[in-house]
Structure 1
Amino acid sequence: MVNRIRRKRPNVALLVEASSDYTRRLLRGVMAYMQEHQPWIICKGEYRRGQVIPPELRQGKCDGVIAHIETEQIARVIRACKVPAVDMSSRRLISSVPCVETDNKNISRIASEHLLERGFKHFGFVGDDFFGWSRLRRDCFQQYISATGCHCSVFLNSGSKGAAGHWNLDRTRLTQWIQSLSKPAGIMAGWDGYGQQVLEACRHFGVAVPDEVAVIGVDNDEMECEFSNPPLSSIDNNPRQIGYECAALLDRMMSGRKVRQLRHVVQPIGVVMRQSTDVLAIPDGRVSAVIRFIRAHACQGISVDDVMQTARLSRRMLEISFRKFLGHSPYQEILRVKFQHVKKLLVETNLTLVDIAERAGFEYQEYMSAAFKRIHGMTPGEYRTQFRV
């Protein structure tokens, strides 16, 4: 009989708060990795962001650590413990520690496209100048909007850096800023908490959402979004996958393997649309009617000829109007809606590509797959592997 020597279960410190849906999903990703591989002994305690450190870590009893390294205090502890560590923060306070973060540039691209698809020509961003991820989301959102010839106004939180009130926006200033925007306007909030506060300011001062102002947040914190009034659309930035990748990195490091790539980026899943952006900000009612028809029936295999039967415009005028309001043709809008559904089915179901093609209105799976790769730069199978949660 061959003796099998099991690897000792490592002690791992988790310096990650669990007070929000986002951070709990990060931890669920860590847990998913543990369930698929050898379990760890977790040292967590009652950690709150930037505060209590598990005693096992201070006493040198941990084999590794996963942390949100967002303060110098935490950075000093990580440097002193001299064990493998993985950072969940984009602040990069310790440049030699590998980090896993969401793709903030892509988040801003998705937000801008979502609002542009709804026909908005005026835009705003609500964020924070303290956190790097907020600055990056702001800069990228402005760049994407500017590239379309539109202007993006910015509101920055003026709270003291790192203070408990840092997350609360000045409602008077915020309201004045909202009122100053040309309308209808599409606003990207740097995270769901700011999105909810924008909605509260709009409701308090009688600004109609989504007709006058549409708002999209980031994180897809389900409780935050659903309890907003109206419910807040948000970008799911895939925190579970971030947690999973952090755990996989740490496991490799604790096994003695070198990690050469220090920055690892996880792609967001996409928009979870709710009432706060459920609108078409297009002044031409005929074009709006056609867009609604396409979005309702694209996956039924309709063609541009089918669209023309419902349009009260000539084909040439319809093409011109689509490019004016959406920046692309009716045919491209049909494809966009179909592929939006394809991506949803890839991530949320186990359907075969043949079944997905049929449900998305494609006659041939081969054509769907080829077009998907041409547009998205990866095959449907690769997309499913990358974004499956």
Structure 2
Amino acid sequence: MHEHRRVLLMMETSRSYGRSILRGVAKYARAHGPWIFHRPAPFYWGNTGRRQFLERFLRLDLDGAIVREQSRREWTDRLLSGGLPVVVAPYSEPFAGIPNILTDDRAIGTLAADHLLRRGFRHFAYCGFGDAYFWSRRRGRSFCDRVKEAGFEPHCFDFDHSKPASERSWQSQQRTLVDWLKSLPQPVGLMACNDDQSQCVLEACKTAELHVPEQVAIIGLGNDDLVCDMATPRLSSIALSAQKAGYEAAAVLDRQMQGQSVAAPTIVVRPSHVVARQSTNVFAVEDRYVLAALRFIHRRAGKEALQVDDVLDAVSISRRSLYDRFARTLGRSPHEEIQRVRVDRFTRLLVTTDLSVSQIASALGCADAKNLARYFKRATGMTPLSYRNLHGRR
């Protein structure tokens, strides 16, 4: 064993997911290392094939590796066969007998469905990658289960990977996607299996002359800021605790490199919150009073101590009528909507900043931080500190 751990890193860096995993690994190494990292050369050197690259690294005197499943699974199997301590992030299917970095796809699908349900949608769709990727199947299943539980029937689209790669093209798949989108009832709330797929759906909507979010509201997964913010309209997405998972993956690898048994644990990447942008910035409700109330609540409740009386003044309707209309249209009360918006803002600040609970309460216009913390626990089943420890940036 070397004085400093020598660790191979083969994680995709073109997306925020892989970069966040690596940030977590680096943070662990700074605290418990130092580690010496070995990584693939930049693409512009371009003089080594993937197989030759793997063989070269296998000849190095490494202590461990954290790797993304390679484009050909047998290349990853070759790396794993050498007996090197490895943590792997799989694409196609989890690897047996070793630690895997896996997303909590059930929680992801449920969170996406709940976001669209709360926006008042009655039609739902899921766009995935078919049987090629287990995480796409799992997210779609969870999304559809939650939609059915709410009393609605989802529509599903999966890209066809049954044909040989030489017979598939992005253009032909997009044409099929356009036809499918045109066939959907409107307005429809749609979950895409990740942010890349959200972008494909958005482009298909433009080709189909469908307006986003008025006719098709889109939410993806990963909260890749470049993908989401460069889109027009900007894309809503679910944020993941990938940096924390990277830290935990490094801790597991460290125990392996010390010769400790880790019983092939799963490192779970959990969804922390929805980052709502323009692609879901719509309420699929016809009642004009409910619509006006929702817009007022979402504009104000996240930054001030809003009361139902303030909503009543804004929409000029009786309390009884507003409560009846909310119950009939959304199945919840105006007060519950106010509290939900405040909890959503509280959650986002909790996992994306280092602000104390008192400071977050102040940002929400709440004078009683303890009462806000109690309500947060009732809504999430966790204390603010426990939630931050589970989902925050380690």
> How does the TM-score come out when normalised to structure 1?
0.91
Q: Is the 8 A contact 1:158 1:169 kept in 2?
A: no
Larger CA deviation: 312-321 vs 143-152: 312-321
Alpha-carbon distance, 1:197 to partner = 1.1
Q: Which runs of 5+ in 1 are unaligned?
A: 1-5
Structure 1 match to 2:369: 365
Question: What is the CA–CA distance in structure 2 between the aligned matches of 1:378 and 1:168, rounded to whole Å?
Answer: 46
Cα-to-partner distance string for 1:354-389 (whole Å, 9 max, x where unaligned): 222232243322211222122212111122222222
1:222-301 mapped onto 2 (5 Å cutoff): 222-260=225-263, 262-298=265-301, 299-301=303-305
SS in structure 2 of the partner of residue 300 of structure 1: coil
The match for 1:355 is 359
Counterpart in 2 of 1:385?
389
C-alpha displacement at 1:168, in angstroms?
Answer: 6.8
Deviation string 1:119-162 (CA, Å, 9 cap, x unpaired) is 11101111012100000000000001111111210011013579
Q: 2:170, 2:34 → 1: CA distance? A: 36
Q: 1:131 aligns with which of 130, 133, 137?
A: 133
- For 1:216, the equivalent position in structure 2 comes to 219
Are 2:178 and 1:175 aligned? yes
Q: CA 1:142–1:197 in structure 2 vs 1: closer, same or farther (change >3 Å)?
A: same
Partner of 1:3: none
Partner residue in 1 for 2:19 = 24
Q: Which amino acid aligns with 1:310?
A: A
Is 1:375 the counterpart of 2:375 in the alignment? no
SS of the residue aligned with 2:237? strand
Residue 46 of structure 2 corresponds to: none
Partner SS state of residue 154, structure 2? strand
Picking from 314, 317, 325, the partner of 2:318 is 314
TM-aligned CA distance change 1:51 to 1:186, over 3 Å? farther
Give the conservation status (yes or no) of the 8 Å contact 2:6–2:63: yes
> How far off its partner does 1:189 sit?
0.6
Q: Distance in 2 between matches of 1:275 and 1:285?
A: 21
Offset of 1:296 from its aligned partner?
Answer: 2.0
Q: Tell me the alpha carbon deviations over residues 228-247 of structure 1, each in whole angstroms, 9 at most, x when there is no partner.
A: 22221111223222222211
Amino acid in the other structure paired with 2:63: D
- State yes or no: 1:86 paired with 2:81: no
Question: How far apart are the structure 2 equivalents of 1:162 and 1:86?
Answer: 30
Output aligned runs, 1:52-63, within 5 Å. Answer: 53-55=53-55, 57-59=57-59, 61-63=61-63
The question of 1:108 aligning with 2:109 is answered yes
Structure 1 residue 104: deviation in Å? Answer: 1.2
Separation of aligned partners in 1, 2:90 and 2:76: 11
Give the 3 Å change call, closer, same or farther, for CA 248–47 of structure 1 in structure 2: farther
The count of aligned residue pairs is: 384
Report how far residue 267 of structure 1 moved: 1.5
Q: 1:183 to 1:146 in 2, by over 3 A?
A: same
Structure 2: distance between partners of 1:370 and 1:161: 54
Say yes or no: does 1:35 pair with 2:30: yes
Q: Does 1:13 align with 2:3?
A: no
Q: Which moved more, 1:84-93 or 1:295-304?
A: 84-93
Cα 1:155–1:92 shift into 2, 3 Å: closer
Report the aligned-residue RMSD. Answer: 2.5
Measure the CA separation in 2 of the matches of 1:77 and 1:162.
Answer: 24
Structure 2 unaligned blocks of 5 or more = 44-48
Contact 2:190 2:219 in 1 (8 A): yes
Aligned-partner residue type, residue 287 of structure 2 = D
Whichever residue aligns with residue 76 of structure 1, its letter is D
Q: Secondary structure at the match of 1:236?
A: strand
**1:161 & 1:40 partners in 2: Cα distance?**
44
Say which is worse superposed, 346-355 or 123-132, in terms of deviation. Answer: 346-355
Deviates more, 1:172-181 or 1:349-358: 349-358
Q: What SS is found at the alignment partner of 1:210?
A: coil
1: CA distance between counterparts of 2:355 and 2:94? 43
Letter in 1 for 2:97: S
Query: How far did 1:167 drift?
Result: 6.9
Deviation, structure 1 residue 211: 0.6
Shift of 1:10: 1.6
Partner of residue 201 from structure 2, selected from 178, 186, 198: 198
Task: Note closer, same or farther for the CA distance 1:19–1:351 as it changes in structure 2 (3 Å cut).
Answer: closer
